[in-house]
Amino acid sequence: STHKIGQVMKKKYRREMEYVYAVMNEIDRKLDRQIRDLDDVRLIMETLKKIREQEVDMQLRIDPIEEAFNIVTRYEVPVDQECLEMVENLRDSWGQILARAHQSHVLLLQLQPQFEEELRNNLEKFRVDNEAYCEEYRTSGPMQAGLTPREASDRQILFQNRFDGMWRKLQAYQSGEELFGLPITDYPELSQIRKELNLLQKLYKLYNDVIDRVSSYYDIPWGE
């Protein structure tokens, strides 16, 4: 019967509508993000890109939902007030998101020069820090001749800790360069040090494990 068809339609398109609202809430939440640093800029830019990609799809989803609920109410299938209001507000809600996206885009354009300038300063500072670190690694790193394995292991840990902090910064700055369409700066010596530290870490872990095993072997109380 038409009443039964109406019930099925109501169920199907209510689910579809809930999905559309879930997508909109997620976008809304991301657009709420305050733009304080490059990471925020990147996330907002990704959100705006996603909105552009979803625009046609959302339109293709909203039209049939409205059409379906028109048919459902025409067949006098009972629909609760909350659901009807959701249908009524659907197109407007999406329109508001598009308006918010436009505002975010305008704000990004205003903030871009400031963040680009900040990135250039950070890159300049990083270049200096990188040179100092590489120089120090060459002259007093874990690869120095004449170190005992224990000393070399300690230095490896020390230089690894500093390296991790620098590598995190580098990842952030390189994604910033990509963001603003700047050429990605390469640091071949730092990449080389990364490989060395990884190898040394494995080597000294092995060495320390063996030493610990041997020590515990000598600690075993042997029977008479």
> CA dist 106 to 33, 34, 112, 159, Å?
15, 14, 10, 43
Of 23 and 219, which is predicted with more confidence?
A: 23
Query: What value does the mean pLDDT take over residues 186-190?
Result: 94
What global pTM score does this model have?
0.66
Residue 2 has pLDDT above 80, yes or no: no
Asked if 30 and 73 count as a contact pair (C-beta separation under 8 A), the reply is: no
What's the average model confidence in pLDDT over 56-73?
A: 92
Render pLDDT for 25-50 as a digit per residue (tens, 0 to 9). 999 999 999 999 888 888 999 999 99
**pLDDT attached to residue 224:** 46
Q: Please tell me the distance from the alpha carbon of residue 214 to that of residue 210, in angstroms, as a whole number.
A: 6
> pLDDT-based confidence at 203, cuts 50/70/90?
confident
d(CA 39, CA 219): 53
Phi, psi for 36 (deg, rounded to 5): -110, -30
Which tens digits make up the pLDDT trace of 155-171? 999 999 999 999 999 99
The pLDDT score that the predictor gives to residue 107 is 93
pLDDT on residue 197? 92
Q: Which domains does the chain have, with CATH numbers?
A: 2-111 (1.20.58), 141-219 (no CATH)
Q: Is the pLDDT of residue 220 over 80?
A: no
Give CA–CA dist 127/125, Å, rounded. Answer: 5
Q: Could you report the per-residue pLDDT of 106-139, keeping only the tens digit for each?
A: 999 999 999 999 999 999 999 999 999 999 999 9
Of 30-34, 79-83, 204-208, 213-217, which range is least confident? 213-217
Question: If you average pLDDT over each of 2-16, 31-45, 51-65, which comes out highest?
Answer: 51-65
Structure tokens at 21: 């609202």
